Chain A
Amino acid sequence: MSEHLPILIVVVPLSAALVVPLLGRRSSTAAHAVTLATLAATLVAASVALTRVLRTADGVWQYELGGWAPPWGIEYVLDPLSGGMSVLVASLALAAAIYAGPYLRTSGPDRIGLFDSLYLLLVAGLLGIVATGDLFNLYVFLEISSIAAYALLATGGDRAAVATFRYLLVGTVAASCYLLGIGYLYALTGTLNMTDLSARLAAADQPTATAVGVGLIVIGLAIKAAVFPFHGWLPDAYTYAPPPVTGFVAAVMTKVSAYALYRVLYFVLGAEPAAASALVFLGWAGVAAIVAGSWLALAQSDVRRMLAYSSVGQMGYIIFGFSLGSPIAIVGALFHVLNHALMKGCLFLVTGGIRWRTGLSSVAGFAGVGRRLPLSATAFAVAAVSMVGLPPTAGFFSKWYLLLGAFEAEAWLGVAALVGSSWLSAIYFFRVLERLFLGADESRPAPERRDLPFGMLAPALVLALVVLLLGLFHQPVVTHLLERALPPTVS
């Protein structure tokens, strides 16, 4: 059994997605229990697989699907990079699913089975993107996760349907670009396997065609990762979606696309001049994203939309780090993938919970909410401090490595953008925190203190605690995982 782990982490949620809606007709409680059990099993499988990968000397676990040897068959590759990503995806999926329990019970128990089925499909798709070693297979999983995400995001209401339709159009254009790009590379090399393609592309010696293919792939994935200026779909889609979905999607979905971008540009096309040019372009896009995302977040009066724009800026941190290309900068970017997933997940879960409990989501509406939901507000505060990048939280240390990388590369504009974005995010986050904890109207009687139910509170608190602890104790994660996830051309 354990030798099939790389495919099991995809297949287990995929098959559960088929069972859960049938079960949901009988009992929504049973359907959700099965979902949680499946996600827990997936997390265990991903963790076991990662430990096994980290124990091996070369740190690569190649799995031939159906016994067909690559490059004919589809290959699944778990290395420290994809293994780490799959653990991240699986753990946030579990956290958001636990949170979804109380939320779903109050807002439509008859739909739990369908919701969970789509959710499991989304998780399976994201895990597939991470684990696959085949470019076309990656496209399929990209679309599985996207279609499931469209359906889930649209459950947020009528405005969500409009926002999701736009996201669907943009997302499909992105996927088509990616597919077309693969077509170019396939025409040049006759293979879709990542490792094989990387070896054959140099021999093909067709710089123009390669450049077109790489350009299309990069644009496609950059749209999916909401890299500025391709971020237009994101704010509306995140704002109107139901809280458990935003919590999960905002935390990992753009990050998984950024992972795909990193995988393709460094591991598959590492030696190509076209990839180097793409990275230069992405570097500028990243700097612009950092500035624009923070600036736009400042202008928002709805907390959810503010968080969405802050995501645009934070994706800029990650893309900027990748583009610098030095070990320290890439470690910073990868660490920020992890940190941003944890803290943005926490922030969206709490914000959604506050709206669920009080109906409020505007910055002004948060006044005094900290006294009604003190523990949730505390989790929000920890994650917000980490978003600003203040010690001792994890967000500070990823920013530190990114800054160090920017100094090494003498990317002064990037340094300025990182510092300016910290200032701006300090303003927009402390504006919320001040309302949250101090905004209470003293003249009125204090509203009753009633925090979120345990199932919704616990995931947010755990994420906040991890953000806090990962700050000071991140050394094992960096040395055993992130530094081994550097591409061969860099380390």
Chain B
Amino acid sequence: MDLAARPLAAVLVSLLAATLLPLAGRRPALREAITFAAAGLKLALVASMLPAVLDGQAIESARLPLAAGLTLGFRADALGLLFALTASSLWLLTSLYSVGYLRAAAVPRQTAYYVSFAVCLSATVGIAFAANLLTFFVCYEVLTLATYPLVVHAQTAEARSAGRRYLVYTLGAGQVLLVAIVWTESVAPGADFTPGGFLAGRAEAGVLAAAFALFIVGCGVKAAIMPLHGWLPAAMVAPTPVSALLHAVAVVKAGAFGVVRIVGYVFGVDVLRATGADTVLIVAAAATILIASMRALGEDHLKRLLAYSTIGQLSYIVLGAALGSVAALTGAMFHIAGHGFMKITMFFCAGALHTQAHRDGVHGFDGLGRQMPVTMTAFAVGACGLAGVPLLAGFIAKWNLGVGALTAGDEIIVGVLVVSGLLNAAYFFPIIYDAFFKAPTTETADAREAPWPMALPLGVTAAVALVLGVAPSVGFRFFALARLAAESVVAGSGGLP
């Protein structure tokens, strides 16, 4: 296939699957085959763009013209490809995991589930490859709409209430984001995302700061920056694969990715520094990191604990974007991939514990390390990674963020990172200790290891988290992509090296 057509094809392939899936009707094998085919094809398409993008190219598909000089279009640059690679490789693994989970947990209405999932993935890759703010917004809202049926999938009163809260937060923020985007369109008509931003000198500092605030509120809800995070713990009522892919990767990362795009490719680091908006964002991110970790300490429901952990980890990305140096941006962008693999491991494990050991809380894991060795080992790897233990993916991000903070002279941020790591350890390690160093109780003795469609994906993601920590630039070369994107942003805005 022509290189230029690939970003568009990568977006559309799962949409095509979504239209085919209802035709599969009640044949689960066909339904799963379509999902796997689409996921595999999507990953192949996205991965095939890697060499060209690493060469510094941006691959652009034909635009869809709208009125008044507006266009919708997809373009794969380093940052977009990084996010798309993360999302599409995790979709493939999640699809495998879903097959096992949905059968083990006997989840009803599976066709609707797979359709919504496929649409979500189209929207996510669309967000990654969006060439301008309008395209970004269209995909961003489609993602909101397509996630809603998944949040309320159980159709219980609790699920409906969570769904309502989800919509109030995300649609409310969507309109704020819309205002910010329309304002941008009115001062810079037809502008595409540009490394280093395109708003410099287009408006006064005060107006720019106000617009930036609207953007951050708009993206901050999905990125769960406190106090805009309220929907995320509630949304954990969804089936576990949904929490795993969407609420650890697609939706929340769309928000965090949006913050990076807006900081790096709309405003530019220098413009933000001139307005003083970066300081506000740094403070908000740092506060979110600490408060979320403390909230997680007090949480006794495993998926909600993971949700608070996600809230804290996402703010690493926001923090890196706000710091704005090459090292900090690299760390932030790399964390999009790194956190994706680590957190999805944790959710996969939570789902396995739910179906195999009927454990939803954070207690009573005694001896499960022996009963479910693969699951609990993966859990331990993910937890260590999130805490920032060296040789795991989380450490790379934290190290770069720390370097970035020191360059910018924000020593206190290094303290925040260290404290957050300790808090992470404090809420994960009791679970690991119980699992590996206590004897099984009567409740856990008959727990069996998860079936292979669940065990394989979580083993793979844990392994990737390990590999990314040791050699961050092999395989899909996430670190190289992050570095490339960070350098282009900083060079574009002429900021700190």
Are A and B physically bound partners? yes
Complex interface residues of chain A between 187 and 235 (CB less than 8 A to chain B): none
| Contact A423/B172 with A391-B142, A403-B182, A434-B163 known, Cβ cut-off 8 Å | yes
Residues from chain B with Cβ under 8 Å of A473 in the complex: 64
Q: Say yes or no: is A426 at the interface (Cβ < 8 Å to chain B).
A: yes
Q: Say yes or no: is A60 at the interface (Cβ < 8 Å to chain B).
A: no
Q: How far is the CA of A397 from the CA of B68 in the complex (A)?
A: 12
Q: Say yes or no: is A472 at the interface (Cβ < 8 Å to chain B).
A: yes
Residues from chain A with Cβ under 8 Å of B160 in the complex: 434, 438
B118 to chain A, nearest CB (A): 16
Is A401's CB under 8 angstroms from B171's CB? no
Q: Say yes or no: is B152 at the interface (Cβ < 8 Å to chain A).
A: yes
Q: How far is the CA of A426 from the CA of B141 in the complex (A)?
A: 13
A313 to chain B, nearest CB (A): 15
Is B68's CB under 8 angstroms from A391's CB? no
| Contact A438/B141 with A422-B175, A423-B175 known, Cβ cut-off 8 Å | no
Q: How far is the CA of A422 from the CA of B176 in the complex (A)?
A: 11
Is A434's CB under 8 angstroms from B186's CB? no
User: Looking at chain B's contact residues, is the secondary structure mostly helix, strand, loop, or mixed?
Assistant: helix
Q: Say which residue of B67, B72, B155 sits within 8 Å of A438 (CB atoms).
A: B155
Is B145's CB under 8 angstroms from A397's CB? no
Residue of chain B at shortest CB distance from A399: B178
Q: Say yes or no: is B290 at the interface (Cβ < 8 Å to chain A).
A: no
| Contact A434/B67 with A392-B142, A403-B178, A407-B183 known, Cβ cut-off 8 Å | no
Q: Say which residue of A434, A437, A474, A482 sits within 8 Å of B66 (CB atoms).
A: A474
Q: Say which residue of B137, B164, B175 sits within 8 Å of A419 (CB atoms).
A: B175
Q: How far is the CA of A450 from the CA of B144 in the complex (A)?
A: 30
Complex interface residues of chain B between 37 and 82 (CB less than 8 A to chain A): 64-68, 72
| Contact A434/B164 with A392-B142, A401-B68 known, Cβ cut-off 8 Å | yes
Q: Say which residue of B67, B141, B164 sits within 8 Å of A390 (CB atoms).
A: B141
Q: Say yes or no: is B167 at the interface (Cβ < 8 Å to chain A).
A: yes
Q: How far is the CA of A391 from the CA of B168 in the complex (A)?
A: 17
Residue of chain A at shortest CB distance from B137: A391
Q: Say yes or no: is B294 at the interface (Cβ < 8 Å to chain A).
A: no
Q: Say which residue of A407, A442, A483 sits within 8 Å of B182 (CB atoms).
A: A407
Is B171's CB under 8 angstroms from A331's CB? no
Q: Say which residue of A392, A415, A427, A442 sits within 8 Å of B179 (CB atoms).
A: A415
Q: Say which residue of A392, A396, A401 sits within 8 Å of B67 (CB atoms).
A: A401
A148 to chain B, nearest CB (A): 35
Residues from chain A with Cβ under 8 Å of B5 in the complex: none
Residues from chain B with Cβ under 8 Å of A408 in the complex: 186
Residues from chain B with Cβ under 8 Å of A415 in the complex: 179, 182
| Contact A390/B68 with A404-B185, A419-B178 known, Cβ cut-off 8 Å | no
Residues from chain B with Cβ under 8 Å of A165 in the complex: none
| Contact A475/B163 with A390-B141, A407-B183 known, Cβ cut-off 8 Å | no
Residue of chain A at shortest CB distance from B164: A434
Q: Counting chain B CB atoms within 10 Å of each CB, which of A400, A426, A474 scores highest? A: A400
Is A404's CB under 8 angstroms from B67's CB? no
Q: Say yes or no: is A358 at the interface (Cβ < 8 Å to chain B).
A: no
| Contact A390/B145 with A404-B186, A407-B183 known, Cβ cut-off 8 Å | yes
Additional pairs, 11, CB under 8 Å, beyond known A400-B134, A400-B182, A403-B179: A390-B171, A391-B137, A396-B138, A404-B182, A407-B185, A415-B179, A422-B175, A430-B167, A434-B152, A434-B164, A474-B67
Q: List 5 A-B contacts (CB under 8 A).
A: A390-B144, A391-B141, A404-B68, A407-B186, A415-B179
List residues of chain B with CB under 8 Å of any chain A CB.
64-68, 72, 134, 137-138, 141-142, 144-145, 149, 152, 155, 160, 163-164, 167-168, 171-172, 174-176, 178-179, 182-183, 185-186
